[in-house]
Every structure is written in structure tokens, then in C-alpha cells.
Amino acid sequence: MPGLDEVSDSKSDGLRTAARHPVPRGEPILEMRALQKKYGAVEALKPATITFLSGEIHAIVGENGAGKSTLIKLLTGVIRRTSGEVFWCGKPVQLDNPQEAIARGINAVHQEVVLCPHLSVAANMFLGDEINNAGLMRKRAMTEAAQSVLDDLGFNLPAAATLGSLTIGQQQLVATARAAMRGTQFLIFDEPTAYLTRQESAQLFRLIRRLQGEGVTIVYISHRMEEVFELADRVSVLRDGTHVGTRKIGETNDAELITLMINRTIEQIYHKEHFPAGETIVETRGLSGPGFQDVSLTVRAGEIVGLYGLIGAGRSEFALGLYGRHASTAGEVYWQGRKVNINSERKAMDLGIALAPESRRDQGLCLNLPIGLNINLPIFKRLTRGLTINRQKEIENADRQIRDLKIKTPSRRVLASAMSGGNQQKIVIGKWLSHGAKLFIFDEPTVGVDVGTKAEIYRLFARLLENGAGIILISSYLPEVYELSDRLHVFRRGRLVASHDYRAASHEEVLTQAIGV
């Protein structure tokens, strides 16, 4: 990387030269041969043979539980393989610990940022590899070096700022910059754009192409087909732990990939059914609260009301406000025509509002508790007879949701943390289906969720509408809200700035309103 040489100490310099351009472009750099991973009797990855060529962008696509995470963990040394071989630059390697992977130049940027939020951006970028002078850290030198790398990459980010003060998207860019400056030869991105705005995604793509230009091999894992086609040279498809094929990007198309992934056609994904709008369920008049001002909208039975905007535009804050998580500062809420004061989550639930919140990890799930407990959490009161919980009913309800929603788990006793993103989202949804509601608020329901599960979730929306519920759908992914919403509201800086009927405005129009240029 230009701009780095003058600041790196001899140790990291040595590491980088050792790893630089080990094989010519286009030759195999990493080969998996019959690589297999079993957890007990479960085969998470069936023997897979995939070759990664030096300097290519190789996309990997697949549904929930298709084995993508297992693959990343194997290649980064987080878990050990059960059988098979890995060849790095033509030689067999163990890759049984993360240090070895990093020393060889294999790095991963994870979907959820794993850095220290309390340290500065610069400190995070140099974490574990600090510039020091006789054991004392040279803070200013690191900040300057980090700033020059960030500027050089075209990220408009302050190196001295605390990491936690940045948005998740910005933190993701920092994590990428960190990997980029470490002499990485082989960089794996795990759904990097899940939390990014469009501009941030564009910045990330520029960085990825630039790394490729410098000879770095990129593995890009994503659910978003348009990204795969925009970026990748080749694409490998996994299904149920099996590698079902690798294609050159010019020789395939959406339809083929999706068929490979899920045995289903693309028309079946965005599933929009129109229902006659019924009575008004909820109406807000000039509702204001922390993070949003003066929002007036209505939701009627049988319709999806979409809220689109950039991350931080106030949509989630509005949802939390309506749900009673934060007290509103002005405005009124009418529930089925009656003025109500929703001052607690319980109150909202009792009226008939359900919220599947933005962050499954922070707000949606008790990750280190069993799936069953998560599903039943809102309804334990109902399951209680006398002093104790009716265990029979508790088990029945958990198993019913697992079955109905096709949550892929051997048992309701498995911890929620062991589930993939799509299955975790289903647990959150299952929780609210158990409880029942008149108004469902889905905040970013398909972030980190694969195509197959997305389609299932959209079909579920139709089922809810059919039963007379209304839905508020919040998403940063325009095609989703655009295709599904009966009425689409655009948020910008905490305000509702525009409203459109189903497909009444173009994508460009909506985007412009969201960005505000």
C-alpha cells in the first residue's frame, strides 16, 4: 500500500514482503481439496473442492446453513477441518489456528465488526501491531499513518475519533482498511454491505477493486445478487453444505445461480399480494421523540407501509417510539380510532403491536439462551398456570413455531447464538407470531438473510395481511421496500419527507429524496 512504507516498523515490513505476490496472477493461490467439516454427526461442509485463483474476486453464495460460515472459519483457522486438504501456493498447509492464517496473509472482514469500540480508529487499525519506540507507543505517528491510509482509500473518516462514535457502516470500512494495511494476500468479506449505506457500499467496492488491482485475492460472500454480478470474476454456490458448482460470472445469470442455491425461480422471491385495505389500525399525528420529529402516518389492515431512508434517518427511532421504548415528546397516537398513550413496551404489546427490532444481536434475541425460551419470552404470562409454567404448552408452542417457520435446528434447546442470521430472524418472528398482534413492525427483517429465507419472510407478510394485520416495513434495501410496500414513506434526518403509493415513484426519485441532494 502506498503511504504505508514510511510508517511501518521492521516486523510488519518483513511479514508483508514474505507474503507479497506468492504466485502469479491467475494461478491457483489457495486450493481446497475434499475439505470437510463435521460437528458430531452433522456434516456442516461436505467434502468440497474449490480453487481460488490469485488476484480474482471469487463470490460465494448460498442459503442459510449452506456452509458459508463454516468455509470462512476453516480458511481463517478458527475451526479445524475433519478431513481433506488445503494447499496454499501449491504447498499443503494446516491452517488450524488464526495466527497461522494471518501470518500467511489470509484475513477476514466480518459482517459484524469485531474491534474495540472504546479505542480510537487509529488504535484499532494498529491493534496488535502498534508502532512503538523502545516499548512506548507512538500515538501521534499511528494517528497520522492511519489518517493517511484512510485518506488514501478515499474514506472520509477521522483517525483520532473513537471507533464507537462511528456508524456501523463506517466501522466496517475501518475494519476493511485494517485488513488492507496488513499485507493481506487473501481477503474474505462476509456480507460486508449488510449494514452499509449505498455510498459506503460504493466506497467499499472501490477499495475491493483496488486491492484486486494490487494482486490481492478476494473472497466475497453475499446474499445480494446484484453485488455478485457487479464485483465477482467467478462465483461458487453452496447448498446444504454441498458445493454445487462454480461459474465464471460471464457465463451465468441470476436465474441460474438462484436455481442452484434454492431450486426455486426468481419470480417466487418478491411475492406481493394485494389485499383490500381495511380499517385504520394506527394513526400518528405529528409524533415526535428522540431521533424523529413530526411524523404523521397511518397503517390500515391488509397493507404494508414501507419506511425507507439511510441508516440513522430516524425510522428505527420512530418504530421504537411508537412501541413505547422511548417516551414521545409531542404528537398523538390513535389506535383503531381511539387516542392512546403508549408509555411502555408492555402497553404496546397489550394493544397489539409487535416489533422485530433492527439488531437481532443487541435487541432481538437472548443469544445465549435456548431458541424455545426466546420464542416463548413474550407469552410466559399466558403459559403460566398458578405458580408455574405449563411445560407442555411451552414445549408445544416452541415446537410449533420451529416447525411452521422451518427454523433449521435439531431442537428447541439449541442456543439462539448457534443459528445463522436467517434462522435467528425466524426466531424473532416466531416470538411475535406466538404472541399475536394487529400491527407488526419489521425493522430490517432481511439483513444478513439469504434469498430463500427472504422469500419465506415475504410470503409470511402476505399471510399476516390476509389475517387482517397491518405491517410497517423498515428497510435500507430499496428494492425490498419498493416492491412490497402499498405505501412508501421516505425518511431523512428524523423527518418524513415524502410519501408514494405502490410503485408510484421511480427508484431514483426515492433515493434522491432519501439522500436530500
Partner 1 sequence: MSAETVDSGTGPAPRKGVSILFGLTLLGLLLFLWLLLGLATNSFWTPNNISNLLRQGAMTAILAVGQTFVIITAGIDLSVGAVVGFTSVIVAWLLAAGVPLWIAIILTLAFGVLIGAFHAFGIVRMGLPPFIITLATLTSLRGIGLLITNGSTISITNEAFTNFSRADFLGVPSLFWMVIVVAIPAYVFLHLSRFGRYLFAVGSNSEAARLSGVNVHRTIYLAYILSSTCAAFVGLLLASRIGIGNATQAEGWELQAIASSVIGGTSLFGAVGSVHGPLLGAFILATINNGANLLNVNSFWQRIITGVLIIVIVYFDQLRRRGAR
Binding site for partner 1 (CB under 8 A): 39-40, 79, 323, 325, 345-346, 349, 355, 357, 362-373, 375-378, 380-381, 383-384, 387-389, 391, 394-395, 398, 410-415, 417-418, 431, 435
The radius of gyration of the chain from alpha carbons, rounded to an integer in Å, stands at 24
Residue placing its CB nearer to partner 1 in the complex, 22 or 364:
364
Residue placing its CB nearer to partner 1 in the complex, 12 or 363:
363
Q: Which residues contact 119 (CB under 8 A, 6 or more apart)?
A: 127, 162, 163
CB of 413 vs partner 1, minimal distance in Å: 5
CB of 383 vs partner 1, minimal distance in Å: 7
Cell reading at 260: 442452484
Residue placing its CB nearer to partner 1 in the complex, 257 or 371:
371
CB of 116 vs partner 1, minimal distance in Å: 18
CB of 437 vs partner 1, minimal distance in Å: 11
Residue placing its CB nearer to partner 1 in the complex, 155 or 440:
440
Q: Are 460 and 429 in contact (CB under 8 A)?
A: yes
Q: How many helices (H) and strands (E) does the chain have?
A: 18, 24
Q: Are 304 and 486 in contact (CB under 8 A)?
A: yes
Q: Are 186 and 107 in contact (CB under 8 A)?
A: yes
Which residue type occupies 114?
Answer: V
Distance CA 263, CA 188 (A): 26
Of 338, 414, 431, 4, residue with least CA distance to 180 = 4
Residue placing its CB nearer to partner 1 in the complex, 266 or 389:
389
CB of 220 vs partner 1, minimal distance in Å: 25
Judged by DSSP in three states, 55 sits in coil
Residue placing its CB nearer to partner 1 in the complex, 8 or 376:
376
CB of 366 vs partner 1, minimal distance in Å: 4
Residue placing its CB nearer to partner 1 in the complex, 70 or 222:
70
CB of 61 vs partner 1, minimal distance in Å: 24
Distance CA 483, CA 506 (A): 11
DSSP 370: B
Q: Are 31 and 87 in contact (CB under 8 A)?
A: yes
CB of 171 vs partner 1, minimal distance in Å: 19
Q: Are 476 and 309 in contact (CB under 8 A)?
A: yes
Distance CA 495, CA 485 (A): 19
Residue placing its CB nearer to partner 1 in the complex, 75 or 371:
371
